[in-house]
Amino acid sequence: MSWLYGWWIPLAKALGLPASYQYDFVARGVVAVLLLAPLLGGLSHLVVARRLAFFSTTLGQAALTGLVIGVALGVPLDDAYASVLGFCLFVGVVMVYVRRTVTLPPDTVIGVFMAFTLGLGICLLVAATRQFNIHQIEAVMFGSVLTITDRDLGILLVLGIVVIGVAAYTYNRVLSASLSPAIAKARGVRTTLIDYGFVVLVTIAITVSLKVIGALMVEAMVVVPAAAARNLAKSTKGYLGWSVAIAAVAGLGGLFVSTSFRVPTGGAIVLALSACFFVSLPLGKLVR
């Protein structure tokens, strides 16, 4: 996979960046962020439109639980994608089913599942640390550019293309079902399929981003780009474009801060996203 990130080191040297930015692991991190920006940034405004902000937090906690389950069963840490994705899909699909069959508000249902995944994850984590060192999963909890491998980039590239392709093909139907489910259903949109299908897309996107953002902070990359873009956009296309751009700028900025000060990548990206949001507040008034 060196062809995917080999261009960064010559560029970093040409720009006169410090030597710490010229390592292969930084190059892989740059490419990972550039792949995640259209993936998570593109889904961001749809997540906000469908009022699923807390849903991404629940999936992040479920991902951590799935990782612990896989590692406790003897699966190598780098091969735990199947257990993470499987458990997240289970939680996501059951959550949608319960939300569609009960009369409780959606945020209440999501809160119940959030509490369940958090409690289960903590119990399993404490039990599993008797078999492995908890520091093994810190990279997935908080994100770390050091742990991104060529295999991770390959998985991110392939699944990212699939998710973006499906999201682009169904974009109008997903957006209409998000804004007005009743009207969308009257126009022939299969809202039930949209509900379950969108959960699957978001689950895949979150799973492949864990090593960069971290399970405990992935919600920020799914929600904040849309929140900041909402302050700047004048149209739906602008909303989408600003979401992707903000995700890319904040991702690269957080990555460089993480490399320079040796802090968790996910935390640095979250701070960069927060900065973008607060800057967008006064800037949005000027744009309008």
CA 17 to chain CA mean position, Å: 28
Burial of 133 (0-12, 13-18, 19+ CB in 10 A): exposed
Contact (Cβ atoms closer than 8 angstroms) between residue 243 and residue 226: yes
Query: What local confidence, expressed as pLDDT, does residue 275 receive?
Result: 94
Contact (Cβ atoms closer than 8 angstroms) between residue 246 and residue 44: no
Tell me how far apart the alpha carbons of residues 7 and 18 are, in angstroms, rounded to a whole number.
16
pLDDT tens, N- to C-terminus, the chain (288 residues): 788 888 998 998 888 888 888 889 899 999 999 999 999 999 998 998 888 888 888 988 898 888 888 877 777 777 778 889 999 999 999 999 998 898 888 888 988 998 998 888 888 877 776 666 666 677 777 888 778 889 889 999 999 999 999 999 999 999 999 888 888 888 888 999 999 999 999 999 998 888 888 887 888 899 999 999 999 998 888 999 999 999 999 999 999 998 888 888 888 999 999 999 999 999 988 876
Residue type for position 107: D
User: Length of the chain, please?
Assistant: 288
Query: What local confidence, expressed as pLDDT, does residue 53 receive?
Result: 81
CATH number of the domain enclosing 10? 1.10.3470.10
Contact (Cβ atoms closer than 8 angstroms) between residue 5 and residue 27: yes
Q: What angle (nearest 5°) sits at the alpha carbon of residue 176, between those of residues 166 and 164?
A: 20
Tell me the two tokens of residue 263.
């802090």
Query: What local confidence, expressed as pLDDT, does residue 196 receive?
Result: 93
Query: What local confidence, expressed as pLDDT, does residue 133 receive?
Result: 65
**Sequence-ordered list of residues with C-beta below 8 angstroms from that of 140, at least 6 positions apart, any chain:** 63, 64, 67, 77, 210, 211, 214, 215
Query: What local confidence, expressed as pLDDT, does residue 135 receive?
Result: 63
Query: What local confidence, expressed as pLDDT, does residue 235 receive?
Result: 87
The domain of 230 spans 2-287
